[in-house]
Amino acid sequence: MTGKGFRGQVATSDSALASEIRRIAGAFRIREPAVVGNVAADSSSGYFRIMKYLLLPLLAAALASCAPSTPEARISANPSSYWKLSDSHQELVRQGRIENGMPPEAVELAWGRPSRRYDGQDGKTKTSRWDYAGSKAVYSTRYYGGYGYGPYGRYGRYGPRYAYGLGPEVDFVPYRRASVWFRNDRVTKWERSR
């Protein structure tokens, strides 16, 4: 490989590397890089075209992961667990509801995965509690201010500096949205905030 290792500079004498560049450029409909001497020149418009085709799907996937999970999506992801349930439990799961006597699989299909699971024992009976967390936005106005000494201004003059102001602030406070209690892998009670 010749050249100075600059970004985008590849020796054309290395035929495998040059053919790989042609293959990638064809996949993104980029014209082949111009060759000056034995070094390929960089095409900045091709870089932005590649970034457009890579960033848009990544951004779409990131936004899709933020979408809330629905009972229908959980059922389609795990149909075997759904078909093992009784008809009445299947109907409740489709509605996103639970009732006493349901197995943990039905609760997970109806409400999703819990934020926390607690396992325990009452005598010889296996118990567990599932907690579902949520968050509430709390808005406030904050005063900030301060005094200091250091460079400021366009030319980096030294002297005292003052800064103060009022600004909005948003904090997200976690809370327990719902809880489900199990005895011997069956729902015994549950509660949900309104």
Report the pLDDT averaged over residues 79-98.
Answer: 95
- Residue 152's beta-bridge partner residues? 157
* pLDDT tens by residue, 143-184: 777 777 777 667 767 777 777 778 888 889 999 999 999 999
Do 11 and 39 touch, CB atoms closer than 8 A?
yes
pLDDT in tens, 54-73: 777 777 776 666 655 899 99
What pLDDT was estimated at residue 9? 47
Q: Which residue has the higher pLDDT, 115 or 21?
A: 115
pLDDT of residue 4: 45
DSSP code at position 67: S
Q: What's the average model confidence in pLDDT over 9-17? A: 54
Between 194 and 111, the higher pLDDT residue: 111
**How large a percentage of the chain has pLDDT more than 90?**
45
Q: What is the mean pLDDT of residues 120-126?
A: 93
- DSSP letter assigned to residue 115: S
Round the average pLDDT of the chain to a whole number and report it.
78
Global confidence as pTM? 0.55
Spatial contact of 161 and 150, defined as CB atoms under 8 Å apart: yes
Whether 81 and 105 have beta carbons less than 8 Å apart is answered as: yes
**Digit-coded pLDDT (tens) for 27-57:** 555 454 554 444 444 444 566 666 667 777 7
Domain ranges of the chain: 15-65, 71-192
Mean pLDDT of all residues in 70-99: 94
Contact between residue 179 and residue 132 where contact means Cβ atoms under 8 Å apart: yes
pLDDT of the residue at 152: 65
Beta strand spans in 37-111 (E): 39-40
CA angle 92, 190, 112 (to 5 degrees): 55
Does the structure show a pLDDT above 80 at 12? no
Q: How far apart are CA 38 and CA 119, in angstroms?
A: 67
